[in-house]
A = this chain, B = another copy of it.
Amino acid sequence: MSPTRTVELEGHIIDSGTMGRCFSLVMDLGGSFEVEEFEIGRHKHEESYCRLAVSADSEPELREIVHELHQIGATLSDPADATLERAPEDGVVPVDFYSTTNHPTAVRYEGEWLAVENVEMDCALVVEPGDSGDDAAPRAYTKVLNAVEEGDLIVTGDTGIRVDPPERPRDGENTFGFMQGGVSSERPSESLIGEIADAIAETKADGGNVLAVCGPAVVHSGGAGHLAELVREGYVDAISAGNGFAVHDIERDLYGTSLGMDVETLEHPRKGHKHHIYTISEISRQGGIEQAVENGAIQSGVMYECVTNDVPYVLAGSIRDDGPLPDTITDSIEAQNAIREQAHDADLVIMLATLLHSVAVGNCLPSTTKLVCVDINPSTVTQLMDRGSAQAIGMVSDIGTFLPMLADELADAE
């Protein structure tokens, strides 16, 4: 008799396509299934339920099938505990380690389901057994490979893991997510900016945290003043950017130029192309951004508002940086850790005209965080939207016209 396991599906599994994907997957992997129970949700908010007996020719094949079913949200009717193995040395995981998705995940440990903390893609899963002495409860959380320490209890195999991918919002219910099936510049820009303003205002009203990820084009395109306004008004709780963004934002304050062009008159003053390097040397002389603000050397702009309003920022270094500023974190692992913290704290992330920093932030986001991505390049928007957020708005637009209109919308809403 061929080995069999029973799995369950629950939720909007038909119209979300989950059930179809499960059936497909079993058949593609050479297994077969019997539908033991099937209840269909009859109306919009009713969930469906399906119980399947899945069989395969051998136990390893069945394990493979069940593993894949997990990834898309099926759960075993009769689960076992997860298997744990100790990391042999720092930065080295056991061979068969479980590599995480970015969906909400639970691990079964001593018969209990532990919700995984700090959900993030492509990490190892660490279980901390807790301590009966001081009643500390057991915990499970993700660790990036480079942070794994010798002796960490790492989950291996697929047993005892439950993944719960967010269901896509039903068509028409929600602007977020309606981008599925293509990102295009041919959509109504003003209305879309209105929806984004609403999402930011709602997040703030709910006590949520908004993270803005910013590229230098925010400054070059003349949008920095409007972003500074959003920081000052409290719509942005944290900034994630690179050295270049900060340099050009400060160049604009010191010289009125960005990349050497006057952002008001559009003229190119002589020596303008040296302004960014003069800016870096000046801030180095001052000892850093915060000191420069305190000394009165910087008097406006996004970085100025961050310092003045206690909005924390991370400036992550890159090999293309000039300088860099003393505030830039030059080690990429250290910078990722700082970005990771920002990402985990955020309820809404708004990505403004940067691919590198948006990918870095996106890598750390669970699939449940709301995402807004604005870039003039459609392939940047597509690439960022593909990262699997369940609620995402992508907009192909000019950041220099987007930001003033967004600031207007938010000011009007007050």
Contact = CB atoms under 8 A, between A and B. Distances in A.
A258 B35 CA distance: 36
Given A19-B14, A172-B267, A190 B335 contact: no
Interface stretch (A26-34, A106-114, A302-310): A26-34
Among A34, A44, A171, A185, residue most surrounded by chain B Cβ atoms (within 10 Å): A185
B221 A188 contact: yes
Interface stretch (A132-140, A228-236, A325-333, A344-352): A325-333
Given A28-B170, A331-B330, A376-B376, A188 B360 contact: no
A261 B15 contact: no
Copies in the complex: 4
A4 interface: no
Interface in A222-281: 222-223, 258-259, 261, 263-268, 270-271, 274, 277-278, 280-281
Contacts of A27: 15, 42-44
B263 A191 contact: yes
A201 interface: no
Interface of A: 14-17, 19-21, 23-24, 27-29, 32-35, 38, 40, 42-44, 64, 68, 91-93, 95, 97, 99, 122, 145-146, 170-172, 175, 178, 182, 185-193, 195, 216-217, 220-223, 258-259, 261, 263-268, 270-271, 274, 277-278, 280-281, 284-285, 316-324, 326, 330-333, 335-336, 339, 356-357, 359-360, 363, 376-379, 382, 386, 396-402, 404-405
Given A185-B217, A191-B265, A376-B397, 5 more contacts: A15-B27, A145-B323, A188-B264, A189-B222, A191-B264
